[in-house]
Every structure is written in C-alpha cells, then in structure tokens.
Structure 1
Amino acid sequence: MTEHPHRARRVVARGTLSVALVLALSGALFAANAKFADAQETERHPQDIADLAGSQAERVERLAAQVDDLRSEVDALTEDGNADTAAVGTPGPGYVVESGAVPVAGPGLTVELDDAPVDSPLREQLDPDILVVHQQDLQSVMNALWAGGAEAMMLMDQRVISTSAFRCVGNVLRLHGRVYSPPYVVRAIGDPADLRRGLSESPAVAGYVRDAKDVGLGWHVESSDRLELPAYSGATDLDAATVPEGVEILPGLEEADEAAKDAASQSSQSRKSAPPATGPEGPQGDDD
C-alpha cells in the first residue's frame, strides 16, 4: 500500500484544532461560572442557611425601626389633631342642651291643645275640619315658645330637637315613628313669663285661642316651677337641610378652623426644621 504523508498531516491538524476548540469553550464556561459566582456573592443573599437567616433578621430589624419611626410620627400628628379638635370642637352647654343630648330640668310652661268635644252641637253647623287640632296649630305654639326663649322642649313624651319633624294625619299625630291622639301636650323649659309673652305675641296662636273660645277647641296653659325633660333618644340623621341666607352657622367656627390650620402648619414646620436627634456614642474598641 502506498503511504500518503499529506493525509497524515491533515489528520494531525484536524485533531489539534478540535482540542483547541474544546479548551476555548471550557475556558469560556469557567469564566462565565466565575462571573456568575461573583455576582451571586455581591447581589444575592448567602446560600448558607445560617447566614441567610441572619441577613433576613437584620432586614427585619431595619424595617421594624422604620415602622417605629413612622408610628411615632403618626402619634405626634394624631395628638396635634386631637388637641386642635378638643380646643375647637368642644360644644358649649347651650349646644348640648339644644341637641337634646342630655336631660334638662327647670321652670317652664305646659300647653295643651285638644279637639272640640265629640258631643258639641256645633259639629252639625260647622265644617268638622275646624273642630280639630291641626299640624299648623302645634307648629305655631312651638314656634311661639321658641321665640319666647324656650331652652328645651318636649312634644307629648318625646324631646324635640332641630331635626324633629311631626305630621298630623286627620286627628292623629305622628312623631319620630310613634302615633299619638289628642290632647296634644307641649312642655317648654324657660322663664314662664317670657314664654307666655311669646304665645300672646303670635298671631297664629291668637287665632287658635279665638277659635277655641268660639267652637270649643281645647286650650290650657300652665306654669311650673320645675319641669323635667328627658334626653332625645331617636336618630339624628338628615336627608337634606338648608340654612337661610344671612344665618351664621356656629358663630366663630370659621375663625377657629383657620386658627387650627395655622397651628397645625406651624407645628409641621417646626418638626421639619428641628435638628435630627443624635444618640449617645457607642462603646469604643480597645486599643491594641
């Protein structure tokens, strides 16, 4: 067989090239692994469970310290807000009484209104509608008592407040979900003389008193040295309400609100401008 030296050299060249290629790929792989390992060491948490638990514990401590700082800031802001609210929003005795939040007692007036007697001979001669107490009659009496300086009022057995609304249907009174029949009784606490003056100065009440004399409607007014009215026990929600023009709501409320905002702003600025608190220096290491 004839030898071919050029073919042997080609085989040797191919083997050398393959070995070089394998070595190059191995080196690239080792370099990539080393780079990935370095990144893991600097960016990833330790793979050892004990070290990992320690690093997570330190992270929890840092977050807990941040939570404590935020909670302290919230508490400080809450205290400032409560202080402003206590100074501005505490109602006076007049508001408490008018709201019906507390029971009241004192001198006052009792007014009783009633339908004409059932056996009245006038029932056959007059319109029956004239012989009964109407909603506007009660409203006139109560408005006159308020105008006369009433401090608190009760209709039947319920305290009357600013959101109270009653309605007469026929000869039946509906108030705060309850139904009443005549006679209707209104009690008001205040100076009896002033309350009587308020009744006498009301044209609507004067008209009712005149009809009471003419057709027999019930009308009785009695002064008392002491009346006791319970606190209001119903709901105070409003569906809608309007305030007439020119009527001031809670006098001084706007000024107090502005003062509270200024105080809160000054408090916030003082906290921002205050230097950060520094703790005591930690223990120093021993010199070698």
Structure 2
Amino acid sequence: MSLITNVMDHSLDDGYAEAAARKKAADAGGLPRTLRARLGLALGLVLAALVVTVGAAQARVAAPVVAKERGELIDRIDQETEAADDLEDDVDKLREEVGARQREALRHSGGGDRGELVGILSGAVAVHGPGVRLSVNDAKDVSAGGDGEPRGTSGFADTGRVRDRDMQRVVNGLWASGAEAVSINGQRLTALSAIRAAGDAILVDNRPLVPPYTVLAVGDGQGLSRRFQDSADGLYLHALQENYGIRTGISVEDDLRLPAAPSVTVRIAQPKTEKGTS
C-alpha cells in the first residue's frame, strides 16, 4: 500500500520536476521565449537586407564597366561581320571573273561547235532548252514522316526529311535517263559537283540548300520524264513518297534556263596532246 500511495503522491519523476523548475527560473530571470524568437528573426532580416544592399551597390558600380565591355564586343562583332561580307563579295567577283575567262578559253580552244559542246557538258556555260522540272520536299510532318519504318541512322534522323543520298540518287537517275544539264535550286551541277550533308542541311559544292529542292534537267522532256520515272531511282523516289510522306512532283517544260557553274577547277586531269608529224 505504501508503494501505491507513493506513486499516487509523486506522479511526476523528480527529474521532470527539476527541469520544469529550471525553465521557470530562466523565464523569470530573462526575456520571454517569444520575444527572443522575434529578436532573432529581426536580426536575420537585417542581415539579409544588408547583404542585398551590398550586392546591389556592387552591381551598380560594375554596371558601367559591363555595359562598356558589351558595347565594345558588339562593335567588334559588327566590324568582323562587315569585313567577312566584303571578303565574300570579293570571292564572288573573282569566281565570276575566273568562270568568264574559262568560258572564253573554251570558246577559242574547242574550235566552233566542239568548244560549245565542251562548255555545255562541263557546265561552264549557261544553257536552255526543253526538259523536266522535279520538285522534292520534306514531309509535312518531318518528325513523323509517314507510316513507314525509320530509314536507318545515317544522314538525317527524321524519316520524313529529304537526305543528301536521296538527292544523289535523283541527280544520278536524271543523268542516266538522258539529262544533258542539271541544276538544283539554281546551282549548276558539273562532273566535279558533290552533294553532301552538314547537320540538317544539304550542301551542293559546299553551298547549303533549303527545301523545297527544285531540280531542273535539260533534255528530251517527255522521254526524259518517262525514262526517269521508270528507272530504279525514279521508283526509289516514288517509294519515299508512298512510305515516308516526302512530297515530289515532276513536270515537262518547254524551255528551262540553267546558269553556268560558278567555276570549274580541274586539279588532276590534263589534256592529251597529239604529237606532230614531220
């Protein structure tokens, strides 16, 4: 009975009682807890405001320097861009001059009709005549590109995008079908022309082209169109249209005009000279 009575009379442990007594004494001898919490919060806000003020002052001091450096950088970019444009104009003028001299040399060295034929076949002179106009364009939704399977990993990733190898097959198919002169988006192709890819762009002789791609081919219009569409390359183009949504169209034209190639540079081949007879 004495143990039960002791528990009932002393329900709290002596340690709890002692801690409560110390807490009460501390509250009576110092600041209330709520006031101390508010003071701590106020001090924190003051420190934060001080940091923000110092940062703003430093940014204000550095702003003129940053603006000056930015302006100098912009001026330098503008100057270099202008210089690059001037150099590109000079290159175009020199290329046109070289092309003109090459065409003039062909006229005098080939001997009449033979010289003109050499100029046409080499792409050194502008030509016109009947032929076909072939348009090739990406699918409307290049991310989907139709209902077929992806066309491998080489070239472009999108199945509905025209690739460099597609244009290679189109051009080779036109040559094989009897085309006498070919251009893509106004750029004349020669025996030295290269069709390559660079990222999402197709390059013809290192010049980027953008879709839609318009291919002009001078030749026997009706016969050229029929032979190309019946060839393996024409059927390949038709399969791209059916399976991947690539848009194509071909029409026969009465008079197509193709420009001369910018320049024809031969580095390896040499003309064969005939030995004279005494």
TM-score by length of 1: 0.50
- Counterpart pick for 2:119 among 91, 96, 103: 96
Deviation at 1:195, TM superposition (A): 1.3
Q: 2:184–2:214: 8 Å Cα contact kept in structure 1?
A: yes
Deviation at 1:130, TM superposition (A): 2.5
Residue equivalent to 2:237: 208
Q: Which runs of 5+ in 2 are unaligned?
A: 1-106, 151-156
Residue equivalent to 1:107: 130
Q: How does 1:128-147 map to 2 (within 5 A)?
A: 128-147=157-176
Deviation at 1:113, TM superposition (A): 0.9
Residue equivalent to 1:224: 253
Deviation at 1:187, TM superposition (A): 0.4
| Deviations 1:192-232, CA, capped at 9 Å, x for gaps | 12211331232233122122123211111011111111111
Could you say if the C-alpha distance between residues 213 and 134 of structure 1 is closer, same or farther in structure 2, counting changes exceeding 3 Å? same
Matched, 1:153 2:176: no
Residue equivalent to 1:198: 227
| Deviations 1:21-72, CA, capped at 9 Å, x for gaps | xxxxxxxxxxxxxxxxxxxxxxxxxxxxxxxxxxxxxxxxxxxxxxxxxxxx
2: CA distance between counterparts of 1:178 and 1:188?
19
Deviation at 1:126, TM superposition (A): 4.5
Q: 2:148–2:243: 8 Å Cα contact kept in structure 1?
A: no
2: CA distance between counterparts of 1:193 and 1:174?
29
Could you say if the C-alpha distance between residues 99 and 218 of structure 1 is closer, same or farther in structure 2, counting changes exceeding 3 Å? same
Could you say if the C-alpha distance between residues 147 and 122 of structure 1 is closer, same or farther in structure 2, counting changes exceeding 3 Å? closer
2: CA distance between counterparts of 1:168 and 1:99?
24
For the aligned residue pairs, the C-alpha RMSD in angstroms reads 2.9
Residue equivalent to 1:277: none
Q: Secondary structure at the match of 1:130?
A: coil
Q: 2:136–2:212: 8 Å Cα contact kept in structure 1?
A: yes
Equivalenced residue count is 164
Matched, 1:186 2:215: yes
TM-score by length of 2: 0.52
Q: 2:124–2:264: 8 Å Cα contact kept in structure 1?
A: no
Structure with max Cα Rg: 1
| Deviations 1:57-92, CA, capped at 9 Å, x for gaps | xxxxxxxxxxxxxxxxxxxxxxxxxxxxx9985443
Q: Percent identity?
A: 31
Q: Letter of the 2:116 partner, please give it.
A: P
